[in-house]
Every structure is written in C-alpha cells, then in structure tokens.
Amino acid sequence: MTLVEPALPAAEFGRLRRRIVALGAERRRESYQTTFWFDLSTPPTNVVEAAVVALYPRLPPARRARVVGVEWWLSRMRTSNVKVDFHVDRDNALFDDTGRTERPRTSSLLYVTSSVGGLLAVTTKKADPRRPACAPDTDDFDLVEPRPNRFVFFDAKLTHGVLDARNELPLRRLPTQRAWRIGVAINFWHRRPRRVPTFPESPHYRGLAGHPRSA
C-alpha cells in the first residue's frame, strides 16, 4: 500500500472538493452503485477525470502496465453508519452474468474530506461472510486515516473495508455523525468493466462536468 500527499496541486484539489461537496445529497444513497468509466486515451470530461489524469503518473511503472482506463465513483458515508462490507474489488456485472471473477490491477482512493474515525483497513486475509461486515478474522490490517488530498493505492487483490467512527469494525449503528467521509474511489483497469457508462453517457452528477479548471 502506498500513500501520496499532497496528491494534487492545492488549486486543483480545491476545485474538485468544491464541485463534489456542491452535489449535496444527489445520489448519496446510491453512491457506490453510480460508477463511471474513463478511457485514459480520451480527454477528461469533468473534474474527477482531470484529477485521474494527474494521479495516474503517481503509480509506479509496473502498476501502469496494461492499464487502459479507470472505473470511478464517489465514496460518501457517515462513519456512524458504515454500509460497505469488507470486500475485494471486481467486475460486478461480469460476476453476476457469468460467475467469473476479474479484478482491476490497482485499487485506490483520493480523500476529499477528513472524518471522525473511518480508517481504511486493508489486509491480505479474505473477507468472511460469516462475520459482521464480512470482516476478515484477523487483526493484521494496514490502516489509512482519511485526510484531504491524500491518495492511497494498493493491489486490487487485497481485501479492504472502512472502520466506524470509533475506528472499530462496523458492527452496529452509532450515534449519528454530522460530517460525511468523502472520497473518490478509482480502480485502474486493463479493460472496461461490463455495463459501466462513461460520464457523458450518464445523466448523473452534472455538477462535476465541464472544463476542469473552471470554478
């Protein structure tokens, strides 16, 4: 697992943060199902894709090999109510259609805000569906604290999840935290995942669109 910070120049990160925060509650409940494909051979169409172009060279050459594009989505949650189980990233539509598992080359997250708790927990151990939040049966985690403009990337074969507001496994709902833990999840792929639209093909998040250097 590798950390890069600051990930983006301050002005560029500021534009990205303002645009994402300005989306408000748009598809907040569906954030993890609202994903987009960005072919790295094409120009960016929004502020997130402009950030991806800037972040891509931060990967070492071995991680950039065979990468043709990224699948990205907004990660938005309250750490008092973590709804994402421990998992390993994959092409979900391919798995649903065929039962075959295919994974991206690299998983990553660009943090937009800090949070109360909400550490990212990454491990080589497998998710355990018999346990709450599918948490692996281990204490051997690499942990990353959410901080604005921090970029973390790791091998997409690794299991990962989010700890709660107390930085414990999310076993129950806690007293509500007002602040939102916000990031951009970015998976670097050797091919386009099934049924993932490009940003121009989707009607969602129009507030992110336009020239990436506009306010």
Token digits of residue 120:
């990212």
Q: What is the pLDDT of residues 2-47, one digit of tens each?
A: 999 999 999 999 999 999 999 999 999 999 999 999 999 999 999 9
210: how many CB neighbours lie within 10 A of its CB?
12
State which residues of the chain have pLDDT below 50.
none
Q: What is the pLDDT of residues 132-144, one digit of tens each?
A: 899 999 989 999 9
On the CB side of 152, CA atoms within 13 Å amount to 17
For 2-21+44-192, the fitting CATH number among 2.60.120.10, 3.90.1150.10, 3.40.1260.10, 2.40.128.50 is 2.60.120.10
DSSP per residue, 140-161: --EEE---TT-EEEEETTSEEE
Residue 88's pLDDT is 97
Distance CA 195, CA 202 (A): 12
What H or E segment, with its residue span, contains residue 35? strand 35-39
- Does residue 37 sit in helix, strand or coil? strand
Find where tokens 């708790």 sit.
Answer: 117
Strands in 181-189's sheet, in edge-to-edge order, are: 2-4, 151-155, 106-111, 181-189, 69-77, 35-39
Q: Where are the domains of the chain?
A: 2-21+44-192
- Give 188's DSSP letter: E
